[in-house]
Homo-oligomer: A and B are copies of this chain.
Amino acid sequence: MQTKALVVLSGGQDSTTCLYWAIKNFGAPNVSSITFDYGQRHRIELDCAREVAAYAGVDNSVLPFNTFSAIGGDALTDSGIAVSSHVSSDSGLPNTFVPGRNLIFLTYAAAFAYRRGIENIVTGVAQTDYSGYPDCREETMRALEAALNLGMESELRILTPLMHLSKCETVELASGLGALPAMALTHTCYNGQRPPCGQCPACELRARGFAEAGIDDPLLQTS
């Protein structure tokens, strides 16, 4: 039996790099992708994930989430009240932001993978350079992996090829994997603009990574 991999695909630069990393390591027919529709501020991310997956020739499944807004905002006190899954505030963080949400995403991904006989989950989390999120760290990933495997009596692995790479190194990895053309389809801009605004922290970080790697960002070539 061939080993399979499920890539958590957000439609951004890092997860797209992971998709190509998985294709190289497992073979395209053994790779599929999953995307989370959790009420993100920019729906364009979902479009980008679908386009990247199609371009790479792998399946893309979308999981809907209506739970986050109930955690982040006011809790329901009446089970009859419907909750919009796409509520966002005007003030930066959506009210769907949930602490440790990556734990929730990966647990769902694990359940999804388990049901389909997929042994590996690939995620683009990194603890270097730019991510201060505790739910993206190596130590957290290993603890979560242990909990998941105890809870499902499984032997899943959470693979994090970008964990210890700088943004520059991630760009170089993408280049080496032949992932650059797909980068034209990705989305990074915090302001949800396409072509990207070029001013927001996400655009700046992306630009710096490509600049340090001495590679032109394909996304900017097309815009």
Q: Does A210 contact B (CB under 8 A)?
A: no
A59 at the interface (CB under 8 A from B): yes
Top 8 A-B pairs, shortest CB-CB distance: A61-B75, A135-B151, A143-B147, A100-B152, A100-B151, A140-B150, A144-B147, A62-B79
Bound CA span A108–B38, Å: 14
Residue of B nearest to A149 (CB): B143
Residue in B99, B112, B153 whose CB lies within 8 Å of A71: B112
Which has the most chain B C-beta neighbours within 10 Å: A35, A61, A144, A151? A151
A66 within 8 A of B: yes
- B-contact 0/1 string along A85-122, CB 8 Å cutoff: 10000000000001111111001101110110000000
Q: Which residues of B contact A155 (CB under 8 A)?
A: none
Q: A61-B70, A61-B77, A103-B152 are in contact. List 17 more A-B contacts (CB 8 A).
A: A46-B79, A62-B77, A62-B79, A63-B75, A66-B66, A75-B112, A98-B111, A99-B114, A100-B110, A103-B147, A104-B104, A134-B150, A134-B151, A134-B152, A134-B153, A143-B143, A144-B151
Kindly state the interface size class of chain A when it binds its partner. Answer: 35 or more
Copies in the complex: 2
B108–A67 CB distance below 8 A? yes
Residues of B within 8 A of A104 (CB): 104, 107-108, 111
30 interchain pairs, CB-CB under 8 A: A47-B79, A61-B70, A61-B76, A62-B76, A62-B79, A63-B67, A63-B71, A64-B66, A64-B76, A66-B85, A71-B115, A75-B112, A98-B115, A99-B152, A100-B148, A103-B107, A103-B151, A104-B104, A104-B111, A107-B107, A134-B150, A134-B152, A135-B151, A135-B152, A137-B150, A139-B150, A143-B143, A143-B147, A144-B147, A144-B151
